[in-house]
Amino acid sequence: MNRTKVLLTAILTLALMAIFIALGFWQLDRARSLKELQKPYQEKPIVALADIASTQSNLSDVAVNRIVTFTGRYVAEFDAPNQIDKNEKSETWLVSLMEVDGGGAILVVRTYREAEMPKGTVTITGRLLPRQFDDRSEKKEGELSRLDPSIVSSLYPDDLYDGFVVAMNESVDGRSIELPRVTVEPARPTVPGYYWQHISYVVIWWLMALVVLFMPFYSRWRSKR
């Protein structure tokens, strides 16, 4: 009976220690991630949209913020009120739904001014960003309350790309379309808290592991007194 109790105590102690040590490493990883996010974003080479994203799947981390290029035809146009640009300026953005050559469709932020929707095949170069989850305005016909492909899914029968593209350049037959462009900061994943806050939790978790290791010896010492 005594041996069974000792064995169970040892197993429980090791299990709790493993949990606290793992939590410490997890918190340390969060601290490293937070520090990494504080570094300036480094642009990567332009890539074809279809090479890093696909329809019916969420944007991967490697796809977010990439400058992408693709061709297609605009099939619908919307206003997106109360959008915030790089300079913290709130404006209504002109957003079009583009049917991409090769299949699928994606939302494209074209400008913050009124502009005619180009006809025919358009070549786009722009930054790929994740969808918005919070409404920026009330839901109205012809407007997007947020930049989210799920809002336009009822208007387009085929598959949609996740996220949206902020156009840096549009061209038709090799001729660039001159428009004032929306400028945005690269999207940054968020890690809650502060660096030293995460480090303090690392210390706490690992101290808890030491306490768990010490407790059986302390109990035996108490019982002998």
Between 144 and 196, where is the model more confident?
144
Residue 146 is predicted with a pLDDT of 95
At position 171, the amino acid (one-letter code) is S
Residues 6+ apart with CB under 8 A from 61: 189
CATH number for the domain whose boundaries are 47-176: 2.40.50
pLDDT at 167 over 90: yes
Residue 225 is predicted with a pLDDT of 62
Q: What are the CB-based long-range contacts (under 8 Å, 24+) for 210-217?
A: 212/13, 212/16, 212/17, 212/20, 213/13, 213/17, 215/13, 216/9, 216/10, 216/13
Residue 192 — very low, low, confident or very high, per pLDDT cuts 50/70/90? low
Percent with pLDDT over 90 in the chain:
51
Angle at CA of residue 125, ends 52 and 106, nearest 5°: 60
Residue 36 is predicted with a pLDDT of 64
List the beta strands (DSSP E) in 18-157: 47-48, 67-84, 90-100, 105-111, 122-129
Between 97 and 225, where is the model more confident?
97
Q: What whole-number distance in Å separates Cα of residue 165 and Cα of residue 52?
A: 13
Of the segments 134-138, 163-167, 172-176, 187-191, which one has the largest average pLDDT value? 163-167
Residue 76 — very low, low, confident or very high, per pLDDT cuts 50/70/90? very high
Residue 38 is predicted with a pLDDT of 64
Structure token digits, residue 99? 């049917």
pLDDT at 47 over 80: yes
Q: Average pLDDT of 212-222?
A: 74
Q: Domain limits of the chain?
A: 2-38+191-224, 47-176
Percent with pLDDT over 70 in the chain:
88
Any idea which residue has 């090769």 for tokens? 102
Q: Average pLDDT of 20-27?
A: 87
pLDDT at 1 over 60: no
Residue 209 is predicted with a pLDDT of 87
DSSP 213: H
DSSP three-state, residue 151: helix
Tens of pLDDT, residue by residue over 124-160, are: 999 999 999 999 998 888 899 999 999 998 888 789 9
Q: Which of 54-63, 91-100, 173-182 has the lowest average pLDDT?
A: 54-63
Q: What whole-number distance in Å separates Cα of residue 103 and Cα of residue 50?
A: 10
Q: What integer best gives the mean pLDDT of the chain?
A: 87
Residues 6+ apart with CB under 8 A from 63: 52, 53, 128, 163
Residue 37 is predicted with a pLDDT of 61
